[in-house]
Amino acid sequence: MASFSYEVFTTVVKKKTFFAAAKVLNVTPSAVSHSINQLEKDLGFPIFIRHRTGVQLTADGQRILPIVQQILNTENRLVQEANDIKGLNAGLVRIGAFSSVCINWLPDIIRSFHKQYPQIEIQLIQGTFNDIAEQVRIGSIDIGFSSLPVSDQLLVTPLIKDPIYCITPKEFQPENGKFVTDSDIGKRNFILQQGDYDKDTKQALDRYNVTPNSISYSIDDQSILSMVESGLGLGILPKLALQKLTGAVNHYPFSEAFNRTLCLIVNKIQAQSPATRHMLEEIHTYLQNRYGAEFLD
């Protein structure tokens, strides 16, 4: 089986300190330090820069990280295949998703999956589109939810087109009563979540000549609705994000339709593991049942 030092290495990368990694691995910080020192000695070059608040990868450490992660993933896949052959259906699947998927899709998906495969562990990591894509690329996440376009190094499956709306205070009414136009938007301020200020949102803002100094940022989608409700500005949110949010606000389409295409991304190697295959099947079944003809796959 793979060297324990590889697991120590990837855990330190995630946790940013030897102390935090030691807690996860249930060993002492000195054991983590010794393992990293030995790995650096074996490799012949440093993989971390140490400083008072923690560690960061060297350029050489960044270069070997995907290789080390691949070794660990291959070992995990071997264990899963052996369990699958023995009929145990045991293993681990790591899912990366952004906020609205975590809230609206994954609870039902995970609940149904656990009923079928109670011995398969699920780890959920929440992040931005870019964070998720990078972790899938290096293999620290098995399945990611993202938005097109995505690197062609990954297996990409389009899921749904998610319409993007303008969020307004309750008393706001567009001139035509149906959708917002240039004159409705004028020089109004917009409130966005900085992590979701992606190409689709930017495209809409650019179309309506919203300048950077007219944009302020909030912590999360629910906070955006609260600030819009208080009359502090307008918002832009996709349909999926609005599913379980509450607030005295309206949402209108823009005079030009905008949407984002949500997708699944999978590392080509990790796609071969039994636990990942089972979870992909569960996700596809759930979305097909929920969206019917709107499901793109």
Q: Domain 160-260: which topology?
A: D-Maltodextrin-Binding Protein; domain 2 (3.40.190)
Nearest partner of 122 among 131, 130, 113, judged by Cα: 113
Where residue 198 falls among pLDDT bands split at 50, 70, 90?
low
Separation of CA 118 from chain center: 24
Residue 209: name the closest of 256, 159, 139 by CA. 256
Is the predicted pLDDT of residue 1 greater than 80, yes or no?
Answer: no
Mean pLDDT of 165-178: 92
pLDDT category, 76, cuts 50, 70, 90? Answer: confident
d(Cα 52, Cα 36) in Å, to the nearest integer?
17
The CA dihedral of 16, 19, 24, 25, to the nearest 10 degrees, is 110
Would you say 233 and 189 are in contact if contact means Cβ atoms under 8 Å apart? yes
pLDDT single digits (tens) 258-289: 999 999 999 888 888 888 999 999 999 999 99
Summarize the confidence of residues 121-134 as an average pLDDT.
91
Asked whether the predicted pLDDT for residue 195 surpasses 50, the reply is yes
Confidence of residue 12 (pLDDT cuts 50, 70, 90): very high
**Residue 105: its pLDDT value, please?**
97
More confident: 86 or 163:
163
pLDDT at 87: 62
Lowest mean pLDDT, pick from 90-94, 172-176, 177-181, 182-186: 90-94
Cα 288 to Cα 144: distance, rounded to the nearest angstrom: 18
Question: Measured between alpha carbons, how far is 101 from 107 in angstroms, rounded to an integer?
Answer: 9
Read off the pLDDT of residues 217-264 as tens digits, 9 standing for 90 and up. Answer: 877 889 999 999 999 999 999 999 999 888 899 999 999 999 999 999
Between the two ends of the chain, the Cα-to-Cα distance in Å is: 37
Lowest mean pLDDT among 34-43, 64-73, 206-215: 206-215
